[in-house]
Amino acid sequence: MSVAPLVEVVGLCKRYPVVGHRGDRLRALWDVLRGRPPRRVATVLDQVSFEVRPGESLAIIGENGAGKSTLLKLITGVLTPSSGIARTRGRVGALLELGAGFHPEYSGRENVRMAAALYGLHGRALEEKLPEIAAFADLGDYLDEPVKHYSSGMVVRLGFAVIAAVRPELLITDEVLAVGDESFQKKCIRWLDEYLAGGGTLLLVSHSMYHVQKLCRRALWLHRGRVEAIGEVFDVTQRYLAWHERRQAKEASPGIVRGDLEYSIRALALNGDGGDAPLALRCGDALVVDVTMGSRDDRAPALLVGIVRADGTPVYGVSTDMDGVAVRRGGVGEYHARLVFDPLDLLPGSYRLRAHPLDPEGLRLFDTAERAIEIRGESRELGLVRLPHRWENHTA
């Protein structure tokens, strides 16, 4: 028997009237009063569908303006959808906009009592939990000060402390971990690890791919209000980061200087595939690069092969001239070279392999051929490459 999802979103859409110019507000109000649809609308979310079942952890990622916060507000009932369905089951704990739900004129302790009551925690049960909430928030005497005197980090401490005490079946958070100081972030991460290990369900919005990959097993990528990808967290986050790198590379527009083609690239194949589509590899797979070069004067050219990240950051480069390797002659004016990386120890991400023929002296670059490579795998290591290493425990 299947377990009912705690979050169910079907064909969810959210549209707003456009009120950017003088008179737009009056026209929008007039349209509403007459029962007409707005004349100009902006679509924030469009046909979003997904489920979150008990015990699952789902991250929602995307650039600013993708619709992430709007989606959470629709799920929690803060906003009403234009069309579609967003429903939740069980006791839901939500940490959305900073300070939402807290009265600025009341003290932290009074706000804790009101917030806990909304979760059904009151009376003797609340009195027993208050020391735990105060210890988690760690605000000291500020707990009895009005919330309007709190910093943003202190407000987050208070809100998270209440959530930690009530332990809802479903926790929905929006960039909470980005506000608190480092020590409090670590405390929250430890609590979330325990919460998930105990069967809790998490719906998380974050720009931190480290937190996303650490806390969530699945991810949903929102792009301009639509679902760009949904699935296993490492696959989706790697696609998202690769998209960012490609966009940065286009903005940088580094360009490649081409020579007069005395030496040219006639064919480039990766692992026997001579197509143009990105080559997908798992972290640690082998990569075989086959290059066919043309030589107008029939002299043997040198070959330079480089790997760059999608945003243009250099990763590695090597040439036949550097290694003292001769290319293999084919027909007249044709030469072949094969370069093998076994294994290719790039960390998961998006890269480009570039092949350049040089003159026999290895001084001048003439042509360029390139191919995208997508490295996939589950890794939270930092950087671009995986270096051989080991950990040792020394005993006295």
Q: Tell me phi and psi for residue 107, to 5 degrees.
A: -75, 165
* Residue 369 within any structural domain of the chain: yes
* Segment 168-184 mean pLDDT: 79
Q: What is the pLDDT of residue 26?
A: 65
Strand order in the sheet with 83-88: 41-52, 7-17, 83-88
Query: 284 with 312, same domain?
Result: yes
Query: 278 with 361, same domain?
Result: yes
Q: What is the pLDDT of residue 257?
A: 40
Return the higher-pLDDT residue of 164 and 2: 164
* Residue 213 within any structural domain of the chain: yes
Query: 276 with 161, same domain?
Result: no
SS3 state at 309: strand
* Residue 210 within any structural domain of the chain: yes
SS3 content of the chain, % helix, strand, coil (to 5): 30, 35, 40
Number of helices and strands in the chain (H, E): 9, 18
- Residue 256 pLDDT grade (very low, low, confident, very high; cuts 50, 70, 90): very low
Q: What is the pLDDT of residue 172?
A: 92
Query: 172 with 274, same domain?
Result: no
Query: 204 with 287, same domain?
Result: no
* Residue 42 within any structural domain of the chain: no
Rounded percentage of the chain residues whose pLDDT exceeds 70: 86
Instruction: Annotate 366-395 with DSSP letters as a single string.
Output: ---EEEEEEEE------SSBPPP-------
pTM above 0.75? no
Q: What is the pLDDT of residue 253?
A: 42
Query: 267 with 242, same domain?
Result: no
Those residues with Cβ within 8 angstroms of residue 301's Cβ, 6 or more apart along the chain or in another chain: 263, 293, 295, 327, 335, 357, 358, 359, 360, 366
* Segment 376-382 mean pLDDT: 83
Return the structure tokens found at 154. Answer: 């202190």
* Residue 38 within any structural domain of the chain: no
Return the structure tokens found at 230. Answer: 């949904």
Using the predicted structure, report yes or no on whether residue 394 has a pLDDT greater than 60.
yes
Query: 158 with 113, same domain?
Result: yes
The whole-angstrom separation of Cα 396 and Cα 384 is: 36
Return the higher-pLDDT residue of 259 and 199: 199
Pick from 217, 247, 277: which residue ends a domain?
A: 247
Q: What is the pLDDT of residue 328?
A: 93
The answer to whether the beta carbons of residues 346 and 310 sit under 8 Å apart is no
SS3 state at 154: helix
- Residue 19 pLDDT grade (very low, low, confident, very high; cuts 50, 70, 90): low
Query: 202 with 300, same domain?
Result: no
* Segment 233-258 mean pLDDT: 67
Q: What is the pLDDT of residue 249?
A: 59
Q: What is the pLDDT of residue 185?
A: 81
Q: What is the pLDDT of residue 255?
A: 38
Query: 232 with 121, same domain?
Result: yes
* Residue 252 within any structural domain of the chain: no
Query: 228 with 366, same domain?
Result: no
Q: What is the pLDDT of residue 258?
A: 43
Using the predicted structure, report yes or no on whether residue 245 has a pLDDT greater than 60.
yes
Return the higher-pLDDT residue of 19 and 188: 188
Query: 272 with 333, same domain?
Result: yes
* Residue 27 within any structural domain of the chain: no
Tens of pLDDT, residue by residue over 110-151, are: 988 888 888 887 788 888 888 988 998 888 888 989 988 888
98-112, 205-219, 221-235, 338-352: the lowest-pLDDT one: 98-112
CATH code, 322: 2.60.40.1930
Tens of pLDDT, residue by residue over 348-373, are: 988 999 999 988 876 677 888 999 99
The whole-angstrom separation of Cα 162 and Cα 99 is: 13
CATH code, 108: 3.40.50.300
* Segment 286-300 mean pLDDT: 93
Q: What is the pLDDT of residue 213?
A: 84
Tens of pLDDT, residue by residue over 272-282, are: 998 888 899 99
The whole-angstrom separation of Cα 258 and Cα 296 is: 16
The torsion defined by the Cα of 235, 89, 165 and 100, in degrees rounded to 10, comes to 80
The answer to whether the beta carbons of residues 172 and 75 sit under 8 Å apart is yes
The whole-angstrom separation of Cα 313 and Cα 241 is: 14
Question: Which one, of 318, 315, 312, 360, lies nearest residue 339 by Cα?
Answer: 318
Q: What is the pLDDT of residue 178?
A: 67
Q: Where are the alpha helices (DSSP H) in the chain?
A: 24-33, 68-75, 108-118, 123-137, 152-166, 182-197, 209-215, 233-252, 320-323
Using the predicted structure, report yes or no on whether residue 377 has a pLDDT greater than 80.
yes
Tens of pLDDT, residue by residue over 21-75, are: 666 566 666 666 666 666 667 789 999 999 999 999 999 999 988 999 999 999 9
Question: Which one, of 280, 249, 233, lies nearest residue 59 by Cα?
Answer: 233
Residue 335: domain span: 263-376
How many structural domains are present in the chain? 2
Average pLDDT of the chain?
85
Query: 228 with 284, same domain?
Result: no
* Residue 128 within any structural domain of the chain: yes
The answer to whether the beta carbons of residues 179 and 97 sit under 8 Å apart is no
Q: What is the pLDDT of residue 289?
A: 96
Using the predicted structure, report yes or no on whether residue 250 has a pLDDT greater than 70.
no
Task: Sort residue 3 into left (φ over 0), alpha (ψ -120 to 50) or beta.
Answer: beta
